[in-house]
Structure 1
Amino acid sequence: MGWFEHNKPLMVMLVLQFTYGAVSISTRASLLEGMNPRVFVVYRQAIATLAIAPISYFSRRKTTKCCIGWKSFSLIFIAALIGITSSQMLFLEGLYLASASAGSSMFNLVPAITFFVASIVGYEPVNIRSLRTIAKILGTVLCVTSAAAMALIKGPKLLNSQLPLSNSLLLNSSSGSDNLWLLGCLCLFGSSCCWSFYLIIQVPVNKNHPDHLSLSAWMCFTATVQSATVTWFTDPNLEVWKINSYLQLGSCLFAGIVGSGISLFVQSWVIERRGPVFSAMFNPLNTVIVTIMACIFLQERIYLGSVIGAVGIVIGLYVVLWGKAKDLEEQQKKMMISETDEIKIKIKTVGVLVDESKPLLHP
């Protein structure tokens, strides 16, 4: 039982990565079948809202209520617009134009981009003389360079079948197929940047609305309204809202309930027990899983440029995570030292002097 409890977060993260891989594959299969990417975002967030909102409501009845004000709502609106609506729409557009493996590889840029943005706004300490900071900077440069190599190195046609380009906002039927890969990678890179900005915005959002479950419900609801509004203006035809197959329906339900609902609780559970670095270390595994599953189920081809770019992104990611892990170790040491100093000060203040040469209990 002790071994199982100790390795439970490891097993949970492995299952979670396979779940993320299944979400990516099923989503891309639905898009290739003709489902509109922006409509998919609306359905996914609506289903996630229906899954999270009842749990949030009944859980808050047993705890202290956390009211939402105009400031909190404004921050939630901005965070949902950047981190969910924009990020997911760009991601699905890139997933639609490039490939599932490219989407998974590009998402590994998030830790590096987050470090770069956090260092600019002052959330991340930067000491150019520190080996940890140098490692994070070099890892960020390697990640971005590898992503650029993945996008710019050309190769033969990626898919065995033609994409239904009418569903894309970026290309029309007369666009050349050589632009698909580059535009798709640019969309995936933009999605990673949006998600990194979202992580930065979470700092003020959590301060103003500390109820995480209620916050998730509000995020999903706000993103549903935002994505529905964008879809209404970009695709006014009501035909795009139709779900034409069980595959599309199952993909929406699976992505909404499992990909956005259950995974939220599982991810929070793992971070609470092992920390965010432990959770982030499993991201490259998702790249391998998605690449293998895409080759088997979607007949996607693997090219040299993609392999080199993905390997470089993974190496850069682990370099950044190593630097971040060292930062956490340094912070823990400082906290232990400060707590020890506080205990010593309290003992001196009370006037209790302990002599270890004498017993505490006298006969």
Structure 2
Amino acid sequence: MSIFALLFYRSMFGAVFTLPFALYFESGKWKEVNTKTVGWLFLNALSGYSLPMAFYYYGLRNTAASYAVIFSSITPLVTFVLSILIGIEQLNIKSKSGSAKVLGALFCFTGALLISLYTGKELHRGRLVISVSPKGSNAASGENHLRGTLLMLSFGLSYATWYPIQVKVLKVCPWKHWSSVLTCILGGVQPLVVGITITRDKSAWQMKWNIQLLTIIYSAALGTAVKYWLNLYAVEKKGPVFPPMFSVLSTVFTIILGILLLGESLTLGSLLGTALVFGGLYTYLYGKANEKHAETTPAPGL
């Protein structure tokens, strides 16, 4: 299947899954959607789905999955910097909360890099539960490593811009269910247009009743529909930097599942990296909580 076909089906299925919730919880709100709203939702779909996912899938062809984790880990840091530059996130490096947020973001980034780049001593040998065939798993990793690196870097940068954009989306379209439905639809149209321009081969657009269809449905429901809604909710409540800070946990979960299901070994690098990720996340949340407390606490004498 073509990558753009996968993106098209995944996004459209995501719209189907989200539509009943929009009709039930936000009935009639679609009538208030205007041209300005559609424009921001188009940009939301482009920066948060079409571009980063296309960069990611094409980048995987020229790199390895473990290498891709490095670029996933830059998302929180880049989002943090962008939010400060455009004034969404306030930074007072001299304050306890400001320094804690900066240290937390750096710790998470360092931990993810450590997991990806450093192996170290083997601490525990896993037991294989699911049989997997390694044949051809990294066959394309050396084909054009520079191109793959640039594509992965573009993925990380594009995805990082998505979170600040959601702040604007919430202002022009505060209805999270309809916002998710329309973003899914626009996120399906974008790869469809590019895909049919690049390839007209019908076989590249055919879905089969096998693991391929299951993958599309699973990623549409959880990786697209639920992700849009949960990210909007988190951005609305905690700001644009809060959700991507938790994305580094996917690296940790991958390690745990790899040990439990695929028989991968626990190494010193993964253990130290996991400790840094959790420590960084806690440090950032501590700074965020202190910042919120300072905003709600009245100044002395008032």
* Superposed pair shares fold, TM > 0.5: yes
| Paired amino acid for 2:18 | I
Residue of structure 2 in register with 1:160 after alignment: 134
Q: Does 1:47 align with 2:21?
A: no
Structure 2: give runs of 5+ residues left out of the alignment.
Answer: 121-132
Q: 2:287 aligns with which of 314, 323, 326?
A: 323
Q: Does 1:332 align with 2:296?
A: yes
Name the CA shift for 1:296/1:38 in 2 (closer, same or farther; >3 Å).
Answer: farther
Q: 1:252 aligns with which of 216, 220, 226?
A: 216
Name the CA shift for 1:308/1:192 in 2 (closer, same or farther; >3 Å).
Answer: farther
Q: Does 1:121 align with 2:86?
A: yes
| Paired amino acid for 2:11 | Q
Q: Distance in 1 between matches of 2:85 and 2:231?
A: 27
Deviations 1:274-302 (A, max 9, x none): 96799777655443332233455566677
Q: Distance in 2 between matches of 1:280 and 1:325?
A: 17
Residue of structure 1 in register with 2:123 after alignment: none
* Number of matched pairs: 288
Residue of structure 2 in register with 1:29 after alignment: none
| Paired amino acid for 1:217 | V
Deviates more, 1:240-249 or 1:89-98: 89-98
Name the CA shift for 1:47/1:246 in 2 (closer, same or farther; >3 Å).
Answer: same
Q: Distance in 1 between matches of 2:199 and 2:266?
A: 33
Name the CA shift for 1:257/1:149 in 2 (closer, same or farther; >3 Å).
Answer: closer
Deviation at 1:233, TM superposition (A): 3.4
Deviation at 1:256, TM superposition (A): 0.8
| Paired amino acid for 1:330 | A
| TM-score, normalised via structure 2 length | 0.74
Q: Distance in 2 between matches of 1:305 and 1:314?
A: 14
Q: 2:161 aligns with which of 180, 184, 197?
A: 197
| 1:1-363 aligned within 5 A | 35-61=1-27, 66-94=31-59, 97-99=63-65, 107-145=72-110, 160-163=134-137, 175=143, 179=145, 187-244=151-208, 246-262=210-226, 264=228, 283-295=247-259, 297=261, 312-334=276-298
Q: Is the 8 A contact 1:106 1:189 kept in 2?
A: yes
Q: Distance in 2 between matches of 1:307 and 1:265?
A: 32
The sequence identity of aligned pairs, in percent, is 24
Residue of structure 1 in register with 2:126 after alignment: none
Q: Distance in 2 between matches of 1:258 and 1:72?
A: 24
What is the DSSP-based 3-state SS (H/G/I as helix, E as strand, rest coil) of the residue aligned with 2:191? helix
Q: Distance in 2 between matches of 1:284 and 1:135?
A: 17
| TM-score, normalised via structure 1 length | 0.63
Name the CA shift for 1:252/1:57 in 2 (closer, same or farther; >3 Å).
Answer: same
Question: Based on CA coordinates, which of the two structures has the bigger radius of gyration?
Answer: 1
Q: Is the 8 A contact 2:70 2:116 kept in 1?
A: no
C-alpha RMSD of matched pairs (Å):
4.0
Deviation at 1:66, TM superposition (A): 4.7
Q: Is the 8 A contact 1:109 1:143 kept in 2?
A: no
What is the DSSP-based 3-state SS (H/G/I as helix, E as strand, rest coil) of the residue aligned with 2:297? helix
Deviation at 1:49, TM superposition (A): 1.2
What is the DSSP-based 3-state SS (H/G/I as helix, E as strand, rest coil) of the residue aligned with 2:207? coil
Deviation at 1:202, TM superposition (A): 1.4
Deviates more, 1:73-82 or 1:188-197: 188-197
Name the CA shift for 1:271/1:73 in 2 (closer, same or farther; >3 Å).
Answer: closer
Deviation at 1:225, TM superposition (A): 0.5
Q: Is the 8 A contact 1:143 1:316 kept in 2?
A: yes
What is the DSSP-based 3-state SS (H/G/I as helix, E as strand, rest coil) of the residue aligned with 2:91? coil
Structure 1: give runs of 5+ residues left out of the alignment.
Answer: 1-34, 166-170, 342-363
